[in-house]
Amino acid sequence: MDLDDFDRKILQLLQKDSKISAKEISEITDHPITTVYARIKKLEDARIIKNYGAVLDASKVGKPTTAFILTSITYRAPGVDETLDQRKIAKEVAHFPEVQEVHIITGDWDLLIKVKAENVAAIGNFVVDKLRTVKGIEKTLTCMVFDTIKETLEIQL
Longest dimension (CA), the chain: 65
Q: What's at 71, amino acid-wise?
A: T
- Cβ–Cβ under 8 Å, residues 103 and 112: yes
d(CA 77, CA 90): 16
Average pLDDT of span 65-75 = 95
Q: What is the pLDDT of residue 25?
A: 97
d(CA 66, CA 115): 6
Report the Cα 55 to chain-centroid distance in Å: 12
Is pLDDT above 80 for 123?
Answer: yes
- Cβ–Cβ under 8 Å, residues 137 and 73: yes
Q: What is the pLDDT of residue 4?
A: 95
Q: Name the band, by pLDDT with cuts 50, 70 and 90, for residue 79.
A: confident
Average pLDDT of span 15-25 = 95
The per-residue DSSP string of 30-85 comes to T--HHHHHHHHHHHHHTTSS----PPP-GGGGT--EEEEEEEEE-SS-TT--SPPP
Per-residue pLDDT tens over the stretch 27-50: 999 999 999 999 999 999 999 999
Q: Domain extents for the chain?
A: 5-45, 58-144
CATH class of segment(s) 58-144: alpha beta
Q: 69-82 b/e with 16+ CB inside 10 Å = b? A: bbbebbeeeeeeee
d(CA 126, CA 6): 44
Put the strands of the sheet holding 99-104 in their side by side order: 99-104, 111-117, 65-73, 137-144
Fold match between domain 5-45 and domain 58-144: no
CATH 2.60.40.10 fits 5-45, yes or no: no
Is pLDDT above 80 for 56?
Answer: yes
